[in-house]
Amino acid sequence: MLLSVVLALGVPPLALGAVAPVHHQRGVSDDTPLFTRRDISIEEASSAGIVQLLQNPKPDHFRSPIHARQRSLDRRAGTGNETVNTLFSGVYPVVNLTWGNTNANTPGQQFISFIDTGSSDSWVISSDLQCVDINTRVPLSQEACGFGPLYDSSTGSFTNISAQKFSISYFPEEESLQGDMGYAPITLGGLTVPKQEVALVNYAAWIGDGSSSGLLGLGYPAITSASNRKTGKSVEYDPLFTTMVKQGVVSTAIFTLAIDRVPQGTSPLAPAGLMAVGGLVPASYYDAPFTSVAIQSSGGEFTWYTINHTLKYGTNGSFTELTTSGTYQSIVDSGTSPNFIPTSHAKALNALFDPPAVYNATLDYYTVDCDATAPYAAYVIGGVEMAMDPQDMIVRSLNGLPGYENVCFSAFADGGAQTAGNVFIIGAVWQRSYVVAYDQARSMMHFANRKPY
Task: Provide φ and ψ at 116, rounded to 5°.
Answer: -125, 110
Q: Does 317 bind ligand NAG (CB under 6 A)?
A: yes
Task: Identify the residue among 10, 15, 152, 355 touching ligand NAG (CB under 6 A).
Answer: 15
Q: Does 360 bind ligand NAG (CB under 6 A)?
A: yes
Q: Does 296 bind ligand NAG (CB under 6 A)?
A: yes
**Peptide bond preceding 355 in cis form (omega within 30 of 0):** yes
Task: Identify the residue among 54, 215, 295, 423 touching ligand NAG (CB under 6 A).
Answer: 54
Q: Does 162 bind ligand NAG (CB under 6 A)?
A: yes
**Peptide bond preceding 172 in cis form (omega within 30 of 0):** yes
Segment near ligand NAG (CB under 6 A); pick from 214-222, 247-255, 357-365, 409-417 = 357-365
Task: Identify the residue among 102, 106, 160, 228 touching ligand NAG (CB under 6 A).
Answer: 160
Amino acid identity of residue 70, one-letter, is Q
Amino acid identity of residue 175, one-letter, is E
Closest separation in Å from C-beta 357 to ligand NAG: 11
Q: Does 232 bind ligand NAG (CB under 6 A)?
A: no
Segment near ligand NAG (CB under 6 A); pick from 116-124, 185-193, 273-281, 355-363 = 355-363
Segment near ligand NAG (CB under 6 A); pick from 75-83, 130-138, 257-265, 424-432 = 75-83
Segment near ligand NAG (CB under 6 A); pick from 29-37, 346-354, 356-364, 421-429 = 356-364
Q: Does 200 bind ligand NAG (CB under 6 A)?
A: yes
Amino acid identity of residue 13, one-letter, is P
Amino acid identity of residue 180, one-letter, is D
Q: Does 266 bind ligand NAG (CB under 6 A)?
A: no
User: Per residue, what are the HEC states of 168-209?
Assistant: EEEECCCCEEEEEEEEEEEEECCEEEEEEEEEEEEEEECCCC
Q: Does 374 bind ligand NAG (CB under 6 A)?
A: yes
Closest separation in Å from C-beta 187 to ligand NAG: 11
Closest separation in Å from C-beta 25 to ligand NAG: 16
Q: Does 12 bind ligand NAG (CB under 6 A)?
A: yes
Nearer to ligand NAG, 229 or 451 (CB): 229
Size of the site for ligand NAG (CB under 6 A): 28
* DSSP structure string for 337-360: -SEEE-HHHHHHHHTTSBSPPEEE
Q: Does 28 bind ligand NAG (CB under 6 A)?
A: no
Q: Does 316 bind ligand NAG (CB under 6 A)?
A: yes
Question: What residue ranges in 66-120 does DSSP mark as E strands?
Answer: 93-99, 109-116
Q: Does 80 bind ligand NAG (CB under 6 A)?
A: yes
Q: Is residue 111 a contact partner of residue 216, using CB atoms and an 8 Å limit?
A: no
Report the alpha-carbon distance of residue 73 to residue 371 in Å, rounded: 30
Q: Is residue 328 a contact partner of residue 424, using CB atoms and an 8 Å limit?
A: yes
Report the alpha-carbon distance of residue 123 to residue 201 in Å, rounded: 7
Q: Does 376 bind ligand NAG (CB under 6 A)?
A: yes
Q: Does 87 bind ligand NAG (CB under 6 A)?
A: no
Q: Does 222 bind ligand NAG (CB under 6 A)?
A: no
Report the alpha-carbon distance of residue 30 to residue 288 in Å, rounded: 10
Nearer to ligand NAG, 242 or 324 (CB): 324
Closest separation in Å from C-beta 437 to ligand NAG: 17
Instruction: Please give the torsion angle defined by the CA atoms of residues 393, 394, 396 and 401, in that order, rounded to the nearest 10 degrees.
Output: 150
Q: Is the dihedral of CA 6, 11, 17, 18 positive or negative?
A: negative
Report the alpha-carbon distance of residue 353 to residue 341 in Å, rounded: 16
Task: Identify the residue among 155, 234, 266, 308 touching ligand NAG (CB under 6 A).
Answer: 308
DSSP 8-state assignment for residue 216: E
End-to-end CA distance of the chain: 26
Task: Identify the residue among 362, 405, 406, 453 touching ligand NAG (CB under 6 A).
Answer: 362
Segment near ligand NAG (CB under 6 A); pick from 74-82, 250-258, 341-349, 438-446 = 74-82
Segment near ligand NAG (CB under 6 A); pick from 10-18, 183-191, 239-247, 432-440 = 10-18
Which residues are within 8 A (CB) of 181 and not within 5 positions of it... i.e. 6 or more apart? 160, 161, 164, 165, 166, 197, 198, 199, 200, 226, 237
Measured in residues, the chain has a length of 453
Q: Which residues bind ligand NAG (CB under 6 A)?
A: 12, 14-15, 54, 80-82, 96, 110, 153, 160, 162, 180, 200, 269, 294, 296, 308, 316-317, 360, 362-363, 374, 376, 390, 393, 407
